[in-house]
Amino acid sequence: MMRAKIGSTVTVELPYSEACMHMRVAGKTMEVLVLQNGAQLFDSDGKEFSFPITHGEAGIIAEPADCLHSWVAGMMVVAEEDLDTVAAIRPVECEKCEATYPRSITL
Ligand SMILES: [Zn+2]
């Protein structure tokens, strides 16, 4: 298993997992884009190959991206200086990596 950050593209020698065997790519070396919830393989022409498979099936352990976070509360974009105020009343999430802003407990 190879560690790779979500959002990055890595070159992987694909394992003999069920999905890779089924797609006849087991043992082949391919470019793989690490998505939040899966891995998209690319053929040698740089075209998407089949549908995304799971990280494990592609031989990858996904790690969080180095994200600069763009915080949103629902549809509302939250400015840096308002984060604590908004997070106290509503859940604030990053729209890129799905991290949640730590809520400060106000008594
Ligand atoms: Zn983020």
Q: How far is the CA of 66 from the centre of ligand 1 (A)?
A: 8
pLDDT at 29: 97
Average pLDDT, the chain: 91
* C-alpha 69 to ligand 1 mean position (Å): 3
pLDDT in tens, 69-104: 899 999 999 999 999 999 999 999 988 777 888 875
Report residue 48 as tokens: 């998407």
CB-based contacts of 61, cutoff 8 Å, min separation 6: 1, 2, 3, 4, 55
Q: What is the pLDDT of residue 89?
A: 92
Residues across the chain: 107
Task: Check: CB of residue 52 under 8 Å from CB of residue 32.
Answer: no
How far apart, in whole angstroms, are the C-alpha atoms of residue 37 and residue 53? 9
The confidence score (pLDDT) of residue 104 equals 58
Are 1 and 10 spatial neighbours (Cβ–Cβ below 8 Å)?
A: no
Side-chain half-sphere CA neighbours of 46 within 13 A: 0
User: What are the pLDDT digits (tens) for 18-67?
Assistant: 999 999 999 999 999 999 889 999 999 999 999 999 999 999 999 887 78
Query: What's the gap in Å between 101 CA and the centre of ligand 1?
Result: 9
Q: How far is the CA of 17 from the centre of ligand 1 (A)?
A: 30
